[in-house]
Amino acid sequence: MRLGISACLLGTMCRYDGSDNKDGFIINTLGKYFDYEPYCPEAEVFGTPRPTIRLVEVNDETRVHTSFESKDLTDELDESCEKNANRIQNDMLCGFVLKSNSPTCGMERVKVYKDTNAPSEKKGTGRFAAKIKEKYPFLPLEEEGRLKDPWLRENFLMQIFAYKHIHEFVLGKPSFKDLIEFHTQYKYLIYAKSHIFYKKLGSIVANTEKKGLDTVLEEYKWAFLEAINEKGNIKKTYNVLLHIFGYFKKLITSSEKQEILEFIEDYKNKLIPLVAVINILNLYTKRFEHSYLLGQKFLNPYPKELALRSDIKAYK
């Protein structure tokens, strides 16, 4: 699996002053699961070291200027950003981690200066980040700073693994039967993100209009990508947990029922992390060898070693 990364986050000394922004989580944790493709549109076109740049508002248009001489470098940087954005498709990426606050790579709240001496406002988007969003609206995209938030980190990694899976699935030239099996795996994961997309994807798979396979697969892929771009929350996840509990409630004792329900309620009330509830549900799933639940991505969406559901703050 390949992730695009702002090169400075990997320790490449490509910042304006020849330094880096090495990120421990990216290198030490994500590096166990992903291959990286480094990108730095700035260094590619301006070299290292180089003058600092910033976003500047000129006549209601955001431009790129050097910080001190105020030389306009917009066209040169945009050309490099376009070239690097086109490269993403060839690199077969399943996600991208960008450097926060950068006039090139920042996803949001990048400082924008006036062409005068007025204070800056945190309202901009980096030129490369904007180009990625434009060309690949559903590519999993985050900043290294935002990945410190357990909720954003869990959603981002879940999206990456599902993004990779749907693309590999479609490239494998599946049949209608294969599509039904794929969709079945993701039913509860999608439900935990969006009930609207849960219904929409189910309708596409039902194919009451008898569309051709290629058309159905294309419709399904884009709806699926939209769905996994949604972020889960406690309320939606709580509903899914109750649905899964329903498969066992007639097979277990009253005390076991009470134990599971207490775990689910404790999760809802932010007393325990989601992983505690998932572990007990996985235990009963294996105990009763429930084939439908054993295949549910919601219960095991990524390697457990990532421990993304082990933090109470991983859901809001």
Rg of the chain over CA atoms, in angstroms?
23
**Residue among 46, 190, 58 nearest 112 (CA):** 58
**Residue among 256, 228, 241 nearest 154 (CA):** 228
Instruction: Mean pLDDT check: name the lowest of 23-32, 171-180, 201-210.
Output: 23-32
Check residue 1 and give its pLDDT.
80
Chain mean pLDDT for the chain: 95
Q: What are phi and psi of 197, to 5 degrees?
A: -70, -30
pLDDT in tens, 258-292: 999 999 999 999 999 999 999 999 999 999 999 99
Q: Reduced to 3 states, what is the DSSP secondary structure of residue 206?
A: helix
pLDDT in tens, 244-254: 999 999 999 99
Cα–Cα distance for residue pair 147/150, rounded to 1 Å: 7
**Polymer length of the chain:** 316
CA distance to 6, 63, 189, 204, per residue, from 139 (Å):
15, 25, 18, 22
For the cut 80, the answer to whether the pLDDT of residue 117 exceeds it is: no
CA distance to 11, 190, 236, per residue, from 232 (Å):
32, 9, 7
Cα–Cα distance for residue pair 164/71, rounded to 1 Å: 41
**Residue among 121, 143, 122 nearest 132 (CA):** 143
Check residue 200 and give its pLDDT.
98
The runs of H, that is alpha helices, within the chain are 24, 41-46, 74-91, 127-135, 150-171, 176-191, 195-206, 213-229, 234-245, 254-268, 274-287, 291-294
Q: Reduced to 3 states, what is the DSSP secondary structure of residue 68?
A: coil
In which residue are the tokens 């999993």 written?
Answer: 140
Whether 182 contacts 162, CB under 8 Å: no
For the cut 90, the answer to whether the pLDDT of residue 70 exceeds it is: no
Check residue 97 and give its pLDDT.
98
Q: Give the pTM.
A: 0.93
pLDDT level of residue 316 (50, 70, 90 thresholds): confident
Contacts with 83 (C-beta within 8 Å, 6 or more apart), sequence order: 41, 44
In which residue are the tokens 């959603």 written?
Answer: 155
Q: How far is CA 250 from the centre of its chain?
A: 37
